[in-house]
Amino acid sequence: MTTCGRFVATAAQMKELDRLAIEQEGISSLALMEQAAQAVADVVEELLTKQQRYAPIGTKTVILCARGELSDEDREQLEHLNQIANPAQDEKPRVAVLCGTGNNGGDGIAAAGILLQRGWNVRAFLVGNREKMTQDARAMAEKLTQLGGTLEPFDPENQEQVIWIVTSACRVDALFGVGLSRPIEGDGAMAVRLLQNAPEQSPVVACDIPSGIHTDTGKVMGEYAVHAEVTVTFTWGKLGHYLEEGREHTGELREVEIGIPHKLVFQQEGTVHTMEGCCMPQRKPNSHKGDYGRIFILAGSVGYTGAPVFVAEGALRTGAGLVYLGVPKEIYPVIAMKCGAAMPLPLLETDEELYDKISRCDVAVLGPGLGLAQETQRKVRFLLEQLTCPVVLDADGINAICGHIDKLDKRAAPTILTPHDGEFARLTGCALPLENRLNQAKAFAQEHHCILVLKGHCTITAAPDGRVWLNTSGNAGMAKGGSGDILSGMIAALLGQKHLCQTEKQVAELVAIAVYLHGAAGDAAAKNLGEYSMLPEDILGAIHQVMRQN
């Protein structure tokens, strides 16, 4: 099986990579900056020319008015502002580049120079103290001057500047970059607000990462952060592009090479990758259902008869050979009516009988819709201690080990937990919202020697050996009861298929693949029906599409 994904970097890793390229490989920092600026300028030009993005602004008439009597000087100023507010008179669409004093600002200044050379109507604004500019940013400012441009000091009280920026056809966010670790204040905050509040026809292109987004967590630092239409990032994607609010603020992500040698990239010890696709291998013609896994599902209770069926259907649609479904006697008749290929049976009376049945299977799923009865939860803990096959713990299976987390530590076989943030908080005692989802998931998986699937906007799969995958599929239409049950079945199905899972190291990667396929099926369902109307059944109905394509 082959997978598609990319390494995802932290701010510290990118800083080290730049240092190695400059100090060890002798690559000019200005050369790296010029390559980055070239990529930003290319994207800006693409947006300006694509479908005449700037036309709606150019044809719109804006009239600024004032109350009371005006002096001749006031009338002259108002007339000037009205001219600025109506860019239809411009030969070329406007591009506003807002630059900070660091190297991210240098990227923006250099991009402004390139766009100026290409004939675009560009103005670059420096947000911050000119004396604090880095050496490379100063060099790019001098080059901009030589090209006939100017790096203007940003003044949020200057009406002419503000109007010009918000009426620009495209705006570039080159304010702070990956080094920012605190909320934006002062003129920087005002600059971000201008980037936020311009018309829809005026897209924002962010350099490396939208200003105000934490590079390593994806969280908005403070009150403001830029919403970009396109983010041009250099060498690798950053964690903040995928996590928390950062995924929404990033917009379309473009990863570009800027000249850092690949040998330096490959030398980095990265543990976080995206999961963006996979290619399922062909099955051998000479095989039977036992080769594709015996799955036992312990799930369901009165009022929760859908969960076990969703788990079973998810497993079967993902290729499981045999699926057994253990449910309480009270709901067995209902489940039996709903099941086709899955084989339901009423729960056996004793722990030993139940263990004997499950121990003959390749994978067990414990917990979906199982309820919180003390006896039921005790059975889950008993099975967790005794079973030597991989176990997927979901929903009430996770609730069963709250306060008994040591049960995880004693297991030799793989254990996969699939909590959402609330279940994870109950399990660990940490506060909501989670402070750093990735680090907390990674630490938990390593400490308790399990695979943790922390479900959410960007589902995180963390392995006990420190590897982490960020999922790139899925949508808000999957936020309905039953979607997570399907995921549990899909995970179990992949783990049970012998031609897929042959080594311990493959287990975690298969879990990440299941997460991706689950989200991809949700995307297919959303495409067919829309996020509002799609149901978990529609995810099941789309699994065959992504299994066939990937």
The CATH number linked to 215 is: 3.40.50.10260
Q: What pLDDT is attached to residue 370?
A: 95
Specify which residues 323 forms β-bridges with. Answer: 295
| Residue 480 shares a structural domain with residue 451 | yes
Q: What pLDDT is attached to residue 71?
A: 62
Cα 130 to Cα 8: distance, rounded to the nearest angstrom:
33
Of 270, 302, 324, the one marking the end of a domain is 270
Average pLDDT, the chain: 91
Proportion of the chain above pLDDT 90, given as a percent: 82
Q: Which structural domain range is residue 313 located in?
A: 289-549
| Residue 178 shares a structural domain with residue 222 | yes
Does a structural domain hold residue 165? yes
Bond into 464 cis (ω within 30): no
Does a structural domain hold residue 281? no
Contact 398, 205 (CB under 8 A): no
- Look up tokens 């009280």; give the residue: 157
Specify which residues 417 forms β-bridges with. Answer: 393, 452
Q: What pLDDT is attached to residue 88?
A: 64
Does a structural domain hold residue 283? no
| Residue 134 shares a structural domain with residue 162 | yes
Cα 94 to Cα 166: distance, rounded to the nearest angstrom:
10
**What angle is formed at CA 259 by the lines to CA 254 and CA 260, rounded to 5 degrees?**
95
Of 454, 513, 464, residue with least CA distance to 484: 454
Cα 154 to Cα 160: distance, rounded to the nearest angstrom:
11
Whether the per-residue pLDDT at 526 is higher than 60: the answer is: yes
| Residue 352 shares a structural domain with residue 443 | yes
Q: What pLDDT is attached to residue 76?
A: 55
| Residue 76 shares a structural domain with residue 199 | yes
pLDDT digits (tens, 9 = 90+) for 24-37: 999 999 999 999 99
Whether the per-residue pLDDT at 273 is higher than 80: the answer is: yes
Instruction: Look at strands 94-99 and 170-174 and give their pairing.
Output: parallel
Does a structural domain hold residue 494? yes
Residues in the chain: 550
Instruction: Look at strands 415-417 and 451-454 and give their pairing.
Output: parallel
- Look up tokens 């030597």; give the residue: 388
Whether the per-residue pLDDT at 63 is higher than 80: the answer is: no
| Residue 89 shares a structural domain with residue 195 | yes
Does a structural domain hold residue 162? yes
Q: What pLDDT is attached to residue 279?
A: 87
Contact 97, 125 (CB under 8 A): yes
| Residue 254 shares a structural domain with residue 305 | no
Cα 449 to Cα 463: distance, rounded to the nearest angstrom:
8
| Residue 245 shares a structural domain with residue 302 | no
Q: What pLDDT is attached to residue 501?
A: 82
| Residue 218 shares a structural domain with residue 350 | no
Whether the per-residue pLDDT at 354 is higher than 80: the answer is: yes
Proportion of the chain above pLDDT 70, given as a percent: 92
Cα 210 to Cα 215: distance, rounded to the nearest angstrom:
9
With cut-offs at 50, 70 and 90, classify the pLDDT of residue 58.
very low
Contact 472, 272 (CB under 8 A): no
Of 236, 270, 304, the one marking the end of a domain is 270
Helices 72-85 and 159-166, interaxial angle, to 10°? 20
Does a structural domain hold residue 278? no
Contact 136, 95 (CB under 8 A): no
Q: What pLDDT is attached to residue 224?
A: 87
- Look up tokens 């067919």; give the residue: 528
Contact 97, 123 (CB under 8 A): yes
Q: What one-letter code names the amino acid at 304? A: Y
Between the alpha carbon of residue 111 and those of residues 46, 226, 415, the distances in Å are 14, 19, 50
Of 235, 270, 305, the one marking the end of a domain is 270
Specify which residues 252 forms β-bridges with. Answer: 230
Give the DSSP letter string of 356-404. HHHTTSSEEEE-TT----HHHHHHHHHHHHH--S-EEE-THHHHTTTT-
Does a structural domain hold residue 424? yes
Whether the per-residue pLDDT at 168 is higher than 70: the answer is: yes
Here the tokens at position 386 are: 């005794």
Cα 66 to Cα 68: distance, rounded to the nearest angstrom:
7
Does a structural domain hold residue 427? yes
Q: Among positive and negative, which fits the CA dihedral 314, 316, 318, 322?
A: positive
| Residue 242 shares a structural domain with residue 293 | no
Q: What pLDDT is attached to residue 61?
A: 45
Cα 361 to Cα 343: distance, rounded to the nearest angstrom:
13
DSSP 8-state class, residue 347: P
| Residue 527 shares a structural domain with residue 399 | yes
Cα 172 to Cα 100: distance, rounded to the nearest angstrom:
11
Task: Compute CA 61 distance to the chain's CA centroid, rounded to the nearest angstrom.
Answer: 39
The CATH number linked to 466 is: 3.40.1190.20
Whether the per-residue pLDDT at 392 is higher than 90: the answer is: yes
266-281: average pLDDT: 85
With cut-offs at 50, 70 and 90, classify the pLDDT of residue 87.
low
**Domains: count for the chain:** 2
| Residue 206 shares a structural domain with residue 294 | no
Contact 250, 220 (CB under 8 A): no
Buried b (16+ CB within 10 A) or exposed e, 399-417: bbbeeeeebbeebeebbbb
Contact 32, 260 (CB under 8 A): yes
Cα Rg of the chain (Å, integer):
28
